[in-house]
Chains A and B, each alone.
Chain A
Amino acid sequence: EADIYQTPRYLVIGTGKKITLECSQTMGHDKMYWYQQDPGMELHLIHYSYGVNSTEKGDLSSESTVSRIRTEHFPLTLESARPSHTSQYLCASSGAGSNQPQHFGDGTRLSIL
């Protein structure tokens, strides 16, 4: 079982609120990722990081931002939540080397009212 944790698991909140989704891993992985997944759909990469102070945008445009101040921590922030942000957000990490499998957290299911 991979040691990657996401909090909260579920969040229902009103429009306009600032939200931070937490992701932490205890495996010492340099690479971390955020995906967005709508029900019954595939995953879309929205952010990734290859190490401390490194962040990049993924394939799917997102209004969220991320930071990577510590190796083990990769939080995602929405400054002003909107109903269109309702989705499941999955965090993952992977070890050194190319083509390593990614280990996933259980996700945060976000609902914006």
Chain B
Amino acid sequence: AQSVTQLDSHVSVSEGTPVLLRCNYSSSYSPSLFWYVQHPNKGLQLLLKYTSAATLVKGINGFEAEFKKSETSFHLTKPSAHMSDAAEYFCVVSELSTLTFGKGTMLLVSP
């Protein structure tokens, strides 16, 4: 069975500082991993995906994530936060076409 743990329910940063959203997973197979972002009253938008190619994955809006099999982690980073990055972020593991969502991390960005 697969599972996803997002280690922080809330992360607060100042505009212009780095962002780190942490995600650990467990999977019996070689999983695919995704990060999604959800702005208020909107659906989920795909930020990036890992599907067993390069371990460092670049996504939209300057986000990237690194797949570390030895640490079973897939942390999301961005060098410099923007006010528009304030949203909820979901780490998702996909195994045999079944998606499992983390509980989400709310990113708060202050001026």
Contacts and interface: CB of A to CB of B under 8 A. Distances in A.
B34 A101 contact: yes
Given A43-B90, A99-B51, A99-B94, A104 B45 contact: yes
A42 interface: yes
A contact residues, range: 20 to 34
Interface string B48-63: 0101000000000000
B101 A106 contact: no
Given A42-B90, A43-B90, A43-B101, A105 B51 contact: no
B32 interface: yes
Contacts of B84: none
Interface string A40-80: 11110100000000000000000000000000000000000
A106 B97 contact: no
Contact of B44 (A31, A98, A100, A104): A104
Interface of A: 4, 6, 9, 31, 40-43, 45, 90, 92, 98-107, 109
10 contacts: A4-B43, A31-B97, A41-B104, A43-B101, A90-B44, A92-B43, A99-B94, A102-B99, A104-B45, A106-B41
